Structure 1
Amino acid sequence: MNHASKVGVMLPPAPRGMLPQLTVKAVILGIILAIVMAAANAYLGLFTGMTVSASIPAAVISMGVLRLFRHSNIIENNIVQTGASAGEALAAGAIFTLPALILLHHWSHFHYWWVVGLTGAGGLLGVLFTIPLRRSLIVDQKLAFPEGTATAEVLKVGDHPRAGLNALALAALLGALAKLATTGLQLFPGIAVAAGYISRRAVGYVGLHISPALLGVGYIVGLNIASLVFLGGAISWFVAIPIFGAYFITTDPQLAALAATHPGAADLAREIWSTQIRYLGVGAMLVGGLWALLSLRASLFVGIKGGLEQHRAGRAALANRSETDKDIPMQWVLIAVAALVAPLFYLFQSITGALVVSLPMTGIMLVAAFLFASVGGYMAGLVGSSNNPISGITITTILFAALVLLWLMGARSTIGPAAAILIGAVVCSAAAIAGDNLQDLKAGHLIGATAWKLQIMQGVGVVSAVLVMAPILNLLLRAYGFGAPTTLHPQALPAPQASLMAAVAQGVFGAGLPWAMIGTGAGIGIAVIAFDEWLKYRKARWRAPVLAVAVGSYLPLELATPIFLGGLVAYGARRYNGRRHGLGHTEEHMRRGMLFAAGLITGEALLGIALAVPIVITHDANVVALPEAIRQGSWLGLLVIVLIAAGLARVAMRA
C-alpha cells in the first residue's frame, strides 16, 4: 500500500514538450533513486506490511541535485521521480508475495533469475497494461490522481528545494540513529509492551514499536487511514483476542495446551493472534478485493473500451494529438506483452513439468494481471494509491489460482501452494506498478511532459529495481529472517502479507485454514463497506476503505499504534496551520512535514539494511550490541518516539 498528500487546484498543461527530457543525467539519477527507494521500501514493507510513495521525496532530491548542473528543467525532474516511483512500487510487488516461498520452505533463498523473471515481467506488464488506459483515465475522464497532482505542484513550486532536502536529511539521520539504538546497539527495547490477564484465560495487550518509520507512515497517510488501521488492530487485539481466550481457546488443541502451562499474557496473546485472529484480515481482504472489482466494473469497461477505440482509430487520430499526448504505439505494446508471456510460461513449466498445468497458470496470470492492473490504476485515480486494494486483489488471485491448481494437481501436490504464489507475484507486481505509474503520468500531463518518454522511464525504473531486488531480499533474510521470531532470528521481519498468502495457499492444499475466522473477517469487511457506502451517500469528508481496516487487523498491534500516533500529528498540524496561516498555506506546511516523515522512513530503512551487512558477515545478531549493564528500559524508547513526534509536528507547523 502507497501514500501521499492531496492538493487542490489543477493547472492546465504547460507547453514544455520541447524541453530536454530523457537526458543522461536524469536517467542516471532516476536509476540510482529507483534502487535506493526499492531497497528502503522492501525493508519497510517486510517490517510494517505497508509501503509509501516515493514520488515527492524523489522529486525534491532531483530538484536539489539537478540544480548543480548548468542546464536542468522541470521535465527532467519529472523523469527522475518517475523512475524512482517505479522502483518503489516494484519492491511492494516483490515483498508482498515472494517471501511466502521462503515461509513455505519451497525456497531456502531468493533465486536471482526467478526474482528477476517474476517481478520484472510483472512490473513491465503493469507498465504496458496502463498505456491504453492513460488517455481515457487522465485526459478524457480527468480522474483526480491525488499523488500525481501533488507531485506536479511540488515540481511547479520547486524553485527552492534546499529546505526540503534539509528536512529529508535531518529526518533520515534521526530515523537511522533510532534504528541503530534499537536493532544495533540495543540501547533500549524496540517494542514497549504491557499485557495482563483480564480473567483466567482472557488476555489484554497493548504495545508500541519504537519506530520513526511507522510514525512517518502515519503522518503521510493521514489520520483517516491511520485511525482505520488502528481500528482494525483494536478489533483484533482489544476485542477478538480476549473473547477467543475466554470462550473458544479449547477449540484449538495447540492453544489449549499452551494455556494450560500458564504462559505470560503477552505470549498467549501473540499466539492467539498468530494462529487464529489474524485470519480476520484474510476475510476482510478477500471481500475488499471482490468489492473493488464489483464496484469498478462499469468504469473499467469504459476505460478499456476507450483505450481500444483509440488504438483502432490508428495513425489518423495520433496525428491530431500534441507531441506530449502520444503514448508508446499499441503494436509495440502487444509485441512486448507477448515477449514477456513466453518466459513466464517457461518458468511455470519448469516448476510444474506439466503442460496441462502451466498453460492454465499462464492464462490466469495474464488475465488477472491485466484486470487488476486496471483496477489498481483506476483506484489510484479515484482515491489515491493509499487506498489501492493491492493486498486484497493479490490474495484473491492466489486463492482462485490455488483452487484451480487443486483441481488440476490434486490435494497431495507439493508444489501447488508455491505455484499459486508465483502467479500472485506477477499479478501483485503488475497491480502495484500500475497505480504508481498512472500517478506519474498524471503529474507529467499537468506539467507538459511527453507521455511515451515517461513510459520508457517507468520501464527503466522497473528493470533497475528488479536487478537488485534478490540481493536485498537475501541480505534481509540472512540477517533478520521472516515471519515469527525464532532463537536464530529474534528480530525477524514479520512480512505480514507474505505470511498470510503462504497460509492461504497452503491451506487450500490440505494444511487447513480457520474458516470460521475468515468468515467472520469477511463479515467485518462487509460491515465496513456498508459503513463506507453510507459515508459516501452522506458526502462525508472522511471515508472507511475496507483495506485499511483489514491491514490493521493482521498487523501486530505494536505496528498499528505508532501509525495512529503519526496520523494524530498530521491532523493536529493541519488544524494548527489552517487556523494560524490560512488554508492557502496549509498544504505547503503539510508537504514540509511529509518530506520530514519520508526522511524518517528512508533513514530507518536504509540503516536497517546497512546493519544487516555485519550481522550476515559475523553470523551474530548482537555484533554491535552494547553490554547489558548499560542498556536501558522501554522508558527511553518511549521518550525518543515522543521527541521525534514533537519534532515532526514542529517541522509541519513552522512558519
Structure 2
Amino acid sequence: MMQISALEVIMDAEAKSVDHQNKEEIEIQKEGGGADEIQKRLQPWKKQITVRGIITSIFIGSIYTIILMKLNLTTGINPNLNVSAALLAFVTVRMWTKMVQKIGLVSVPFTQQENTMIQTCAVACYSIAMGGGFGSYLLALDKKTYEQTGVGTEGNPPGSYKEPGIGWMTSYLFVVCFIGLFVLIPLRKILIVDYKLTFPTGTATAVLINGFHNMGDKMAEKQIRSFTKLFSLSFLWGFFQWFYSGQGDCGFSQFPTFGLKAQRQTFYFDFSLTYVGTGMICPHIVNLSMLLGSVISWGIMSPLIRNHKGDWYPANISEGSMKSLSGYTVFIPIALLLGDGLYGFIKITFITLSSIYVRFKEKKISSERSNKNRAIDDLKQDEVFIRESIPMWIAPCGYITLAMISAIVIPLIFPGLKWYYVVVAYILAPALAFCNAYGAGLTDINMAFNYGKVGLFVIAALVGKEHGVVAGLAGAGLIKSVISVSCFLMQDFKTGHLTFSSPRTMFLSQVIGTAIGCVIAPVSFFLFYKAFDIGNPNGEYKAPFAIIYRNMAVLGVEGFSALPRHCLQLCYGFFAFGIGINVVKDLSPERIGKWMPLPMAMAVPFLIGANVAIDMCIGSLVVFAWHRLNCKKAELMIPAVASGLICGEGLWTLPASILALAKVNPPICMTFLVS
C-alpha cells in the first residue's frame, strides 16, 4: 500500500508540473532559443530513425551479442559497452558515408541524434544477451547443471530441469523483456527533467557522442584508424591461435606463464585480447578485486580445503560434486554476492527514499524551476524532451496487455510457476522498477539482479520441493528483466535528453533493439551451446553463474542442509566480509575508500580461475601506463583501442563456432609438459 501511495504522489507531481513546462518555454523563447529555432536546427523524430541507422544497429548489436555471449559463458563478467557501441556506430556510419560519396551518391548528414538512435538500438539488442539469463538462470535449468548440482537431492529432485530450446527461450524473452519498456514511461519527465538524475553511464555516453560530432575530422580519423588496426590484429590473432588449440588442454590459452605448478592453480596469462580489452574498459578496482579474489580462492582457500579431503568431504567422490570441493568454491562466492547485494540493496533503498523525502519536503523541484541562472542549453534540452512526448495511454495499455499475455504464456513454459505468481510479480514490479531506476540515476548501480535473486529465493521457497528450483529460476528472470529493461530505458532517455534526441526516437529504438535481441540472442546462444562444451567446470566455457543460480534455488528449497561440512561457517565469514568491506568503503575517506575491493568482482575467480583476472589486470596496466605517458591522448584513444581488441577476437568466435559445428578440428595441439 505504501509503495502504491508513493507512486500516486509522483504521478500527481508530474501532472502539476505542466505549469512549469509552460514557464520554461516562455523563458527559452525570451532568450532567443524557442521551439521554432530548435525545430529548424533539429530533425523531426521520424527522420531521426533511419534505414541506415537500423541496419547499423543490427550489425553492431549482432557483433556485441556474440561477444557478450562468449563473456557470459566463460567469465560471467559483462563490461559496460555503451561507450564502445556509440564509438562503433560513429565509425561504421562514417565509413558508410565515405563509401557512398566515393561512388558518387549523396549521403544524408550523420547527426548526433542518429548516432544516439543507433547506440540505443544496439544496446537494447545486445543487452538481451547480457541480461537474458543465458549464462545464469536460463542455463541453470539445463540437464548438465542439474547433474552437477547433485541428482535426486531434496531440493534437486529427478526431472527438475528444462533443456534449452530456441522456441521456448525466444517466447520467454519476448514476454518478460518487452513489458519492462512500458513500466516507467509516465515517470520519464519526473526522473530526467524534474529530479535531474545524472544516470552517469547515460551522461558519459551522451558527452562522448556530442564530442564525436564536435571534435573535428582529424581526431575522428585517428580513432577510426586505431579501431580498424586493433580489430584486424585481434581477429588475426584469434585465427592464428586456433591452429594450435587441438583437442583438450592445448594452445596459447594454456601457456604456463608462471610455471606449471602455478598453471595448475590457474595462474597464467592465456593471451586473450578480448579480456585485455575488457580490462581496459573496466575500472582498475574491478580488475584488482578479481586478482585479489584469485589469490584468496586459488592461492589460499583451495589448497587448504584440499588438505582436508577425507575429513571435511568424502575422498571417494569427484571434486565436481557439490558435496566435495566444488561445494566450497560455489557457496563461498554465493555468500560474497549475497553480502554485497544485501548491503547494496539497503544502501540504494535508503538513498532513494531519503532523496525523494528531501525533494518533496523542501520543494526542491520548484526551487530548481525558478532558478534564473540555468544554462540556456539545459532549458533547450528540457524543451525538446518535453515537446515530443509519448502518449500517456501507451504505458498502461502496453503494460496490462503484456502482463496478461505473460500470465498465460509463462505457466505454459514453466508449469511450476503458476499464473498468480506472475500476476503478483507484475503488480509489485512498477514500484520496484521506480526505486531501482531512481537509485541507478543517483549511483549508476543497477540492482535488478539483486531483486531477481530475492525473487528466486522467495518463489523457490513458496513453490516447494517438486517444482521450486525451476519455478524460482524462471521467476528470477521474470522479475529481473522487467526492472532491468526499464532502468536501461531511463538511462537511454538521459542520453537522448543530452543529445537533443526525441523521447519517441529513444522509445522506438528500444522497441526495435529489444525485438532484434530476442531473436538474435537465442540463436547466438545455440551456436555456442552446440559448438562448445558449455558448463564444463574444467573447460573454457565454464558458465560460472549457472551453477551459482542453480545452487541458490536449491538453497531456497532445502535450506542450509545443502552445504558440505564447515561450508556454512566459511559462508558466514565471507558474507560478513562482503558487508564489512562495503561499510569500510563508505565510511573511509575517498582516497582510502576508492581502493577497497569489490566483493562481487572478488567472487568471480572462485569459479573461473585466476587467468582471466591476469588478462584484465594487463589491460589495466596498459591504461595506467598510457595515462602516465599522454593522458589527453589516452582518454580519446582508449575506447577505440579497447573496442578493437574486444570486437576482433570476439568476432572470431563466429567462424570458430561454424568450424566446430562442421567437425573441422584444429590441426595442431600445443601443450606443455614437465621436462
* TM-score normalised according to structure 1 size: 0.78
Which letter maps to 1:234?
V
Q: Which residue of 2 aligns with 1:98?
A: 138
Distance of 1:553 and 1:348 partners within structure 2:
33
Q: Which residue of 1 aligns with 2:91?
A: 64
Alignment partner of 1:228 is 2:270:
no
Instruction: Give the direction of change, closer, same or farther, for the CA distance of 1:353–1:143 in structure 2 (3 Å limit).
Output: closer
Give the match's secondary structure for 1:278. Answer: helix
Distance of 2:117 and 2:537 partners within structure 1:
41
Which letter maps to 2:547?
S
Q: Which residue of 2 aligns with 1:85?
A: 123
Distance of 1:307 and 1:124 partners within structure 2:
31
Instruction: Give the direction of change, closer, same or farther, for the CA distance of 1:178–1:134 in structure 2 (3 Å limit).
Output: farther
Query: Are the equivalent residues in 2 in contact too, given 1:218–1:567 (CA < 8 A)?
Result: yes
1:499-538 matches, within 5 Å, as: 499-510=547-558, 512-514=562-564, 516=568, 517-535=570-588
Give the match's secondary structure for 2:268. Answer: strand
Instruction: Give the direction of change, closer, same or farther, for the CA distance of 1:273–1:307 in structure 2 (3 Å limit).
Output: farther
Q: CA deviation at 1:371?
A: 5.6
1:464-475 matches, within 5 Å, as: 464-475=516-527
Q: CA deviation at 1:553?
A: 4.1
Q: CA deviation at 1:601?
A: 1.6
Alignment partner of 1:381 is 2:441:
yes
Q: CA deviation at 1:55?
A: 2.4
Query: Are the equivalent residues in 2 in contact too, given 1:75–1:447 (CA < 8 A)?
Result: yes
Instruction: Give the direction of change, closer, same or farther, for the CA distance of 1:17–1:104 in structure 2 (3 Å limit).
Output: farther
1:359 to 407, 415, 419: 419
1:118-129 matches, within 5 Å, as: 118-129=172-183
Give the match's secondary structure for 2:652. Answer: helix
1:218-617 matches, within 5 Å, as: 218-247=279-308, 250-253=311-314, 256-257=315-316, 274-301=326-353, 322-325=383-386, 326-351=388-413, 353=415, 358-363=418-423, 365-366=425-426, 369-370=429-430, 373-374=433-434, 376-384=436-444, 388-406=446-464, 411=465, 413=466, 415-485=467-537, 491-510=539-558, 512-514=562-564, 516=568, 517-535=570-588, 540-542=593-595, 544-578=597-631, 585=632, 589-617=634-662
Distance of 2:325 and 2:227 partners within structure 1:
36
Instruction: Give the direction of change, closer, same or farther, for the CA distance of 1:100–1:335 in structure 2 (3 Å limit).
Output: same
Instruction: Give the direction of change, closer, same or farther, for the CA distance of 1:289–1:278 in structure 2 (3 Å limit).
Output: same
Q: CA deviation at 1:493?
A: 1.1
Q: CA deviation at 1:212?
A: 1.0
Q: CA deviation at 1:296?
A: 1.9
Q: CA deviation at 1:252?
A: 1.2
Query: Are the equivalent residues in 1 in contact too, given 2:277–2:619 (CA < 8 A)?
Result: yes
1:34-79 CA-to-partner distances (Å, cap 9, x unmatched) read 2332222112221221122332232223223434023331101110
2:237 to 178, 182, 189: 178
Distance of 1:184 and 1:397 partners within structure 2:
45
Which letter maps to 1:496?
P
Unaligned runs of 5+ in 1: 1-11, 260-266, 309-319, 579-584, 636-655
Query: Are the equivalent residues in 2 in contact too, given 1:92–1:429 (CA < 8 A)?
Result: no
Instruction: Give the direction of change, closer, same or farther, for the CA distance of 1:108–1:125 in structure 2 (3 Å limit).
Output: closer
2:81 to 15, 38, 54: 54
Distance of 2:449 and 2:604 partners within structure 1:
8
Query: Are the equivalent residues in 1 in contact too, given 2:585–2:592 (CA < 8 A)?
Result: no
Distance of 2:426 and 2:673 partners within structure 1:
49
Query: Are the equivalent residues in 1 in contact too, given 2:75–2:604 (CA < 8 A)?
Result: no
Q: CA deviation at 1:81?
A: 0.5
Which letter maps to 2:141?
L
Which letter maps to 1:210?
F
Query: Are the equivalent residues in 1 in contact too, given 2:584–2:593 (CA < 8 A)?
Result: no
Q: Which is greater in Rg?
A: 2
1:13-40 CA-to-partner distances (Å, cap 9, x unmatched) read 9946545312232233223322332222
Distance of 1:78 and 1:595 partners within structure 2:
17
Q: Which residue of 1 aligns with 2:666?
A: 625
Give the match's secondary structure for 2:529. Answer: helix
Residue correspondences, number: 575
Name whichever of 436-445 and 44-53 sits farther off.
436-445
Which letter maps to 2:658?
V
Which letter maps to 2:406?
L
Distance of 2:320 and 2:499 partners within structure 1:
55
Q: CA deviation at 1:215?
A: 1.0
Unaligned runs of 5+ in 2: 1-32, 98-106, 148-159, 361-380
Q: CA deviation at 1:338?
A: 1.5
Query: Are the equivalent residues in 1 in contact too, given 2:327–2:563 (CA < 8 A)?
Result: no
Instruction: Give the direction of change, closer, same or farther, for the CA distance of 1:29–1:197 in structure 2 (3 Å limit).
Output: closer
Query: Are the equivalent residues in 1 in contact too, given 2:274–2:646 (CA < 8 A)?
Result: yes
Query: Are the equivalent residues in 2 in contact too, given 1:128–1:333 (CA < 8 A)?
Result: yes
Distance of 2:403 and 2:357 partners within structure 1:
23
Q: CA deviation at 1:537?
A: 6.9
Alignment partner of 1:74 is 2:107:
no
Alignment partner of 1:191 is 2:251:
no
Which letter maps to 1:235?
I
Cα RMSD after superposing both structures: 3.7
Instruction: Give the direction of change, closer, same or farther, for the CA distance of 1:122–1:521 in structure 2 (3 Å limit).
Output: farther
* TM-score normalised according to structure 2 size: 0.76
1:116-156 CA-to-partner distances (Å, cap 9, x unmatched) read 23223333233333434533333333333332222222222
Query: Are the equivalent residues in 1 in contact too, given 2:330–2:547 (CA < 8 A)?
Result: no
Q: CA deviation at 1:84?
A: 0.8
1:441-500 CA-to-partner distances (Å, cap 9, x unmatched) read 2221112111232022112111111112222111111111221257xxxx4511111221
1:121-200 matches, within 5 Å, as: 121-158=175-212, 159-160=216-217, 161-183=220-242, 185-186=244-245, 188-193=251-256
Instruction: Give the direction of change, closer, same or farther, for the CA distance of 1:91–1:352 in structure 2 (3 Å limit).
Output: closer
Instruction: Give the direction of change, closer, same or farther, for the CA distance of 1:532–1:184 in structure 2 (3 Å limit).
Output: farther
Q: What is the percentage of aligned positions where both structures have the same residue?
A: 20
Alignment partner of 1:34 is 2:34:
no
Instruction: Give the direction of change, closer, same or farther, for the CA distance of 1:122–1:552 in structure 2 (3 Å limit).
Output: farther
Query: Are the equivalent residues in 1 in contact too, given 2:199–2:494 (CA < 8 A)?
Result: yes
Query: Are the equivalent residues in 2 in contact too, given 1:241–1:272 (CA < 8 A)?
Result: no
Q: CA deviation at 1:379?
A: 4.7
Which letter maps to 1:526?
I
Which letter maps to 2:401?
A
